[in-house]
Structure formats: structure tokens, C-alpha cells
């Protein structure tokens, strides 16, 4: 096991990355001073890992409640949040309860939002079981549910007490989900770290083969990059927005196709191609580098063209993006491979051209 730390003063917390650590009681015990916990998970993850996590919590002295939700992006909504609150209240969970998010990004976001607002805020522990959640959504304190008009429109910043990441859980991850998680790995590299891009270009086949050493390295490196960004900009007022490379386009794809038709990572992959094409049209990125972005995503088995929503519909949906400021959509673009920047000075013509180019 390897551990690193998100440095946020009194709210700093560890990220533990390893193989076979899911039921290590010693990792849970420090976060259970009152001995009460509630595990939030879904119908796919529960039969695989809930008994092990519950046993570890009970071994640490906790009284454990559980909430099992439907799987998929469609469950990231108010009705699911209410089910969590109903279960917490039925189990008489107080303000000293630890909520444990056991699952992928949907569970992490939803359970985190529940922790942020239940009785004005309770402790949260993230136990991600998908690659996407392990490298991105479990770290940084972003929690949310979706609104019909936009992704993650309702939420709060709520940092966890710790993140426990066991890459062995990826053994049961469907191939499509693994590839979707690789989109977020690639995003971290393209936005922040050229040497990591070069490593990915050499190691993508090892990651697809689920080689443990490669997975541990990729997860740890993504967490290192994100921890540094979160420590510098917790509330996303500056450098943290660079981790949204591809997301302005990607979130529009998700909203336009109905949440769940495209996995988050698939939409972000297509969004990164659009953002790379836009970077080229803004005079920032060479055509050869746009090809490099496409090639890496394609080798990971990810879509490099978006759905046939049409340019007008994409523009309409992007106007609802959270990065819109003073009526202008801001885009995270690449100044070079491994170096992203936030730009708000794009012409609509350039955005349209990028969408069309990405479809070819």
C-alpha cells in the first residue's frame, strides 16, 4: 500500500492506494470515533464488496447501516438522495455518523452530497471501486446530483476524511467501465503532465490488461496530480478548473443523450477531442498534437467522435455549463500536450469548426 495526502490544513486527509486493502480494519478505525457508520452503495457493488467493508467497519467497533441504490447515472437524482436520508433516519444515524461511499463516481458524488447536507454535514469516507472514481471523483470533495438540464448542477464541496482505493476491485469492473475510467487518467496527463502522457503511450496495453503495478502507478499519479491542484485551489476558482479538460463538451454530450446512454468517461473522451480541435483553431496546439490526443484515446478503446446531436444542440447545452461567466462559455484548452489553460476569448465560429472537425 502507498499513501499520499491532500493538504488542506485541518481538513487534510490521506489517500491510500494498494491491492487487497478493501477490508483492512486499521484504515477505517481512525474515522469511527462514535462507532456509527452507514454504507451507501449500489446493486452491482453490494454483493461483491459490501460484506467485506461492513465486516471491517464492525471489526473497528461500528454499528453499520446500509443503503443499496440502483446502478447507473440515472440514480444520481433527488429521489435517490431521499432514499439515503430515509435509511439514515430509520437507523437513527446522528451527526456523529460516518457515511461510507462504496462504489463508482455516481455513488461517491451522491453519498458525498448526502454527507454534506445530512443534519448540516457529517463525516464521509470514500471507497471507490471503479477506475474513474479512483483516479478522479473520489478525491477533492466535489459532490453533486444531476438536474435534467445539466450535469452536477446541484451539489456542495465536502471533503472526505480519507480515500481507500483498492485496485483489486477493478478485477470485477466491466471492460467498458475500465476504458471509461482510462479517459480520466488520460485527461489528467494531457492537462497537467507530459511525462505521464509519455508513460501512458507506452503502458496503455498494460492498463487494459489490468496489470496491478501499472494500475497502482496510474491511480497514484492521478491522485498526486489532483491532490496538488485541490490543495492549491479547493473551490475551483483557478487552477483546479484545468482538470475539466474535455468536460464542457463532455457534459453537454451526457445531457443531450440522456444520462447513462454514454458513460461519463466516453463523453469526456469525445469532449477532449473537441477541445483539442478547438485548441488548434485558437492557435495553441499543433495539428500533430491533436492527432496524438486522438491516437491515445483510440488506443484506449474510447470514442473520438461524439453522438449526432448537432452543433446547435451542443452549443445550447454548453451554455448551461458551470464554467460560464458573464455570459461567455469558458473552455479548458491545451497550450501544449501536458499543459492546459482556461480561455474565454473564443469565437463561436471556432467552436463550431471544432465540433465539425471532431466528427470527421
Same domain for 233 and 327?
yes
For residue 328, what is the DSSP state?
B
> pLDDT band at 322, cuts 50/70/90?
low
Choose, from 10, 120, 202, 326, the residue flagged as catalytic: 120
Same domain for 217 and 278?
yes
> pLDDT band at 330, cuts 50/70/90?
confident
Same domain for 18 and 164?
yes
Choose, from 240, 281, 294, 330, the residue flagged as catalytic: 240
Q: Is 251 a catalytic residue?
A: yes
**Which of 146, 171, 196 marks a domain boundary?**
171
Same domain for 140 and 197?
no
Q: Note down the domain range covering 275.
A: 175-358
Same domain for 149 and 110?
yes
Contact by Cβ (8 Å): 238, 261: no
Provide DSSP, 3-61. Answer: EEEE--GGG-EEEEEESS-TT-HHHHGGG-TT-EEEEEEETTTHHHHHHHHHHHHHHTT
SS3 at position 98: strand
Mean of all residue pLDDT scores within the chain: 94
Choose, from 184, 234, 254, 266, the residue flagged as catalytic: 184
> pLDDT band at 323, cuts 50/70/90?
low
Contact by Cβ (8 Å): 62, 37: yes
User: How far is it between the farthest Cα atoms of the chain?
Assistant: 61
Q: Is 236 a catalytic residue?
A: yes
Choose, from 151, 187, 251, 330, the residue flagged as catalytic: 251
Q: Is 349 a catalytic residue?
A: no
Q: Is 31 a catalytic residue?
A: no
What is residue 326's predicted lDDT score, i.e. its pLDDT? 60
Give the Cα separation of 122 and 99 in Å (integer). Answer: 7
Choose, from 236, 254, 266, 277, the residue flagged as catalytic: 236
Query: The whole model's pTM is what?
Result: 0.92
- Percent of the chain whose pLDDT exceeds 70: 98
pLDDT digits (tens, 9 = 90+) for 83-99: 999 999 999 999 999 99
SS3 at position 303: coil
What is the CB neighbour count within 10 angstroms for residue 33?
11
Which residues fall within 8 angstroms of residue 273, CB to CB, at 6 or more apart? 246, 290, 293, 294, 297, 304, 305, 358
Choose, from 76, 151, 158, 264, the residue flagged as catalytic: 264
Same domain for 194 and 301?
yes
- Write the Ramachandran bin of 254: left for phi over 0, alpha for psi from -120 to 50, otherwise beta: alpha
Same domain for 325 and 232?
yes
Q: Does 210 score more than 70 pLDDT? A: yes
The strand pair at 123-128 and 162-166 is best described as parallel
Give the Cα separation of 274 and 269 in Å (integer). Answer: 9
**Which of 171, 203, 223 marks a domain boundary?**
171
Q: Is 184 a catalytic residue?
A: yes
Read off the CATH number of the domain in which 339 is found. Answer: 1.20.1090.10
Same domain for 136 and 110?
yes
Same domain for 196 and 308?
yes
Q: Is 120 a catalytic residue?
A: yes
Contact by Cβ (8 Å): 190, 340: yes
The strand pair at 98-103 and 150-157 is best described as unpaired
Same domain for 296 and 327?
yes
**Which of 141, 171, 201 marks a domain boundary?**
171
Same domain for 92 and 185?
no
Count of domains for the chain: 2
Read off the CATH number of the domain in which 155 is found. Answer: 3.40.50.1970
Same domain for 234 and 330?
yes
> pLDDT band at 188, cuts 50/70/90?
very high
Give the dihedral sign, CA 281/283/284/285.
Answer: positive
Choose, from 54, 76, 83, 226, the residue flagged as catalytic: 226
Looking at per-residue pLDDT, the higher value among 132 and 148 belongs to 132
Cα–Cα distances in Å, from 351 out to 85, 90, 345?
A: 42, 50, 11
| Cell numbers for 306 | 461524439
Q: Does 325 score more than 70 pLDDT? A: no
pLDDT digits (tens, 9 = 90+) for 235-279: 888 899 999 999 999 999 998 998 888 999 999 999 999 999 999
Q: CA torsion, points 123, 156, 107, 250, in degrees to nearest 10?
A: -150
What is the CA 310 to chain-centroid distance, rounded? 26
Amino acid at each position: 500500500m502507498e499513501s499520499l495526502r491532500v493538504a488542506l490544513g485541518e481538513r487534510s486527509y490521506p489517500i491510500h492506494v494498494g491491492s487487497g486493502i478493501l477490508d483492512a480494519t486499521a484504515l477505517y478505525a481512525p474515522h469511527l470515533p462514535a462507532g456509527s457508520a452507514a454504507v451507501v452503495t449500489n446493486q452491482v457493488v453490494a454483493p461483491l464488496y459490501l460484506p467485506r467493508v461492513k465486516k471491517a467497519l464492525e471489526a473497528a467497533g461500528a454499528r453499520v447501516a446500509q443503503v443499496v441504490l440502483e446502478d447507473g447515472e440515472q440514480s444520481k437524482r433527488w429521489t435517490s438522495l431521499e432514499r439515503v436520508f430515509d435509511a439514515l433516519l430509520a437507523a437513527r444515524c446522528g451527526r456523529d455518523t460516518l457515511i461510507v461511499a462504496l462504489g463508482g463516481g455516481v455513488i461517491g458524488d451522491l453519498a458525498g452530497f448526502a454527507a454534506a447536507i445530512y443534519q448540516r454535514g457529517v463525516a464521509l469516507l470514500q471507497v471507490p471501486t471503479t477506475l474513474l472514481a479512483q483516479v478522479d471523483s473520489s478525491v477533492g470533495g466535489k459532490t453533486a446530483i444531476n438536474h435534467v438540464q445539466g450535469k452536477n448542477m446541484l451539489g456542495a464541496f465536502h471533503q472526505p476524511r480519507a480515500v481507500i482505493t483498492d485496485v483489486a476491485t477493478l478485477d470485477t469492473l466491466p471492460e467498458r467501465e475500465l476504458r471509461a475510467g482510462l479517459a480520466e487518467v488520460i485527461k489528467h496527463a494531457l492537462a497537467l503532465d507530459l511525462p505521464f502522457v509519455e508513460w501512458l503511450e507506452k503502458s496503455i496495453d498494460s492498463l487494459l490488461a489490468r496489470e496491478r503495478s501499472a494500475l497502482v502507478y496510474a491511480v497514484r499519479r492521478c491522485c498526486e496530480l489532483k491532490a496538488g491542484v485541490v490543495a492549491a485551489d479547493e473551490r475551483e476558482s483557478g487552477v483546479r478548473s484545468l482538470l475539466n479538460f474535455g468536460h464542457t463538451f463532455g457534459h453537454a454530450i451526457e445531457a443531450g443523450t440522456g444520462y447513462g446512454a454514454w458513460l461519463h468517461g466516453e463523453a469526456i473522451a469525445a469532449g477532449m477531442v473537441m477541445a483539442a480541435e478547438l485548441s488548434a483553431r485558437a492557435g495553441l496546439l499543433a495539428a500533430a498534437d491533436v492527432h496524438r490526443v486522438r491516437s491515445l484515446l483510440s488506443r484506449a478503446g474510447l470514442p473520438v467522435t461524439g453522438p449526432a446531436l448537432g452543433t446547435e444542440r451542443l452549443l445550447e447545452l454548453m451554455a448551461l455549463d458551470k464554467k460560464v461567466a458573464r455570459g461567455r462559455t469558458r473552455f479548458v484548452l491545451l497550450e501544449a500536450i501536458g499543459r492546459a489553460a482556461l480561455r474565454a476569448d473564443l469565437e463561436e465560429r471556432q467552436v463550431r469548426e471544432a465540433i465539425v472537425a471532431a466528427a470527421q
